[in-house]
Amino acid sequence: MHVTRLQLVDFRSYAEVDVALDPGASAFVGRNGQGKTNLVEAIDYLSRLSSHRVATDAPLVRAGTERAVVRATVVKDGREAVLEVELLPGKANRAKVNRSPLPRSRDLVGLVRTVVFSPEDLALVKGDPGERRRFLDDLLVLRTPRLAGVRADYDRVLRQRSTLLKTAGAARRGSSSAESALATLDVWDGQLARAGAELLAERLRLVDALRPYVGKAYQAVARGAGRDDAEVEYRASFELPPAAQTAGDLEPALLDELTRRRNDELDRGVCLVGPHRDELVLTLGNGETRLPVKGYASHGESWSFALALRLASYDLLRAEGDDPILVLDDVFAELDSGRRDQLAELVAGAEQVLVTAAVDADVPAALAGTRYVVADGTVLRG
């Protein structure tokens, strides 16, 4: 797939901009702070309804205004569609396809698919487990858009159950009767186990599908590495029953664990079991030594692993359907020349690659393509 036109109104620093895009490689070049990332962030937002830079929508709306619009003309399998989202921080966003409103903005997710490489990706390797869970869940939803609902259900149940744990725990410690809160907790345990088992089963399936692509991608970006050097493994917050894979297998196990840990949870007022406590463990090894990446890997190895996770996502999505749009946001300045050329060669054949860079010298020759100059709120071919 590729985007042929991007129109923004009051998005980030842009009051209004309308850019025609070509398939193949495009480079957006301009001094710092001119709005290069803002452009590609808009396309990514359309794909996932969230940004790779901020957790809430408010910073995406131009300061002093109350709504922003991102509209893109997307060509997929030769057919064209106009996708649009209106961002209304604090309220529900509105989405349209070919000018017809969608019942829920969530229905837009996955109609355009992006894979973004950015300097923030280092956090995928060095950051908290939450970064890696978000990576998995974003990929799940891009692969299977209906899972946006499963993810949202789990988050909602988790929030409600966590609130209840706090009140029930406090009631138990105080003099007031905790009976009714505990009875309600039983109901929420059931809901958490149901939604959690579904999310867990999907993540396990995803990690299995991703694993071979990660090894291959790491080998491609880290010079001298073997195909089995980089590994990903899903570690759940409780011991999974042997061979349990479906949500049906996992739900009773999750429910049992919630029962077993209930006192602990009430004491601490925190939900200790479920996919929100799981970890995607990244390891590197050759021969007999295999070590976790976090805390052990060098800076260069960590970067290579982060790139490998993104490349693997791209390869997986590509193998299962239409080519996603690749966004390489400011990454080349971070890489040594060997990795830079290797990455450029690997992605040069993609249907559409959007690169941002502060100077022309940071854009590898393989990705020169169409060049745009970004300055003072304007985006000009040249």
Ligand X SMILES: Nc1ncnc2c1ncn2[C@@H]1O[C@H](COP(=O)(O)OP(=O)(O)OP(=O)(O)O)[C@@H](O)[C@H]1O
* Residues tagged in the binding site annotation for ATP: 30-37
Binding span for ligand X by CB under 6 A among 35-43, 275-283, 334-342, 360-368: 35-43
Q: How far apart are CA 307 and CA 220, in angstroms?
A: 10
Q: Which is nearer to ligand X, 250 or 327 (CB)?
A: 327
Q: Coil, strand or helix: which one is 92?
A: coil
243 near ligand X, judged by CB under 6 A: no
Residues contacting ligand X: total by CB under 6 A: 17
Full DSSP string of 61-92? BPTT-S-EEEEEEEEETTEEEEEEEEE-TTS-
Q: Which of 37, 93, 114, 302 binds ligand X (CB under 6 A)?
A: 37
Q: How far apart are CA 162 and CA 107, in angstroms?
A: 28
Pairing relation of β-strands 24-29 and 352-357?
parallel
Question: Are 29 and 373 spatial neighbours (Cβ–Cβ below 8 Å)?
Answer: yes
Q: How far apart are CA 4 and CA 240, in angstroms?
A: 46
Structure tokens given for 78:
């030769």
Q: Which is nearer to ligand X, 35 or 324 (CB)?
A: 35
Q: How far is CA 195 from CA 161, 166, 236, 272, in A?
A: 12, 21, 15, 15
Q: How far is the CB of 65 from ligand X (least distance, A)?
A: 8
Q: How far is the CB of 100 from ligand X (least distance, A)?
A: 28
Q: Which is nearer to ligand X, 13 or 245 (CB)?
A: 13
Structure tokens given for 326:
């690749």
* Positions in 15-34 near ligand X (CB under 6 A): 30, 32-34
Binding site listing: 30-37
Please state the length of the chain: 382
358 near ligand X, judged by CB under 6 A: yes
Q: Which is nearer to ligand X, 20 or 58 (CB)?
A: 58
Q: How far is the CB of 31 from ligand X (least distance, A)?
A: 7
Q: How far apart are CA 98 and CA 109, in angstroms?
A: 15
Q: How far is the CB of 329 from ligand X (least distance, A)?
A: 7
Task: Tell me how crowded residue 330 is: count the other CB atoms within 10 A of its CB.
Answer: 19
Q: Which of 4, 5, 9, 13 binds ligand X (CB under 6 A)?
A: 13
Q: Which residue has the tokens 């200790």?
A: 272
Q: Which is nearer to ligand X, 17 or 225 (CB)?
A: 17
Q: Which of 15, 16, 56, 59 binds ligand X (CB under 6 A)?
A: 59
52 near ligand X, judged by CB under 6 A: no
Q: How far is the CB of 112 from ligand X (least distance, A)?
A: 19
Q: How far is the CB of 119 from ligand X (least distance, A)?
A: 9
**Residue 119 burial by Cβ neighbours in a 10 Å radius (0-12, 13-18, 19+):** middle
Residues near ligand X (CB under 6 A): 12-13, 30, 32-38, 59, 61-63, 330, 356, 358
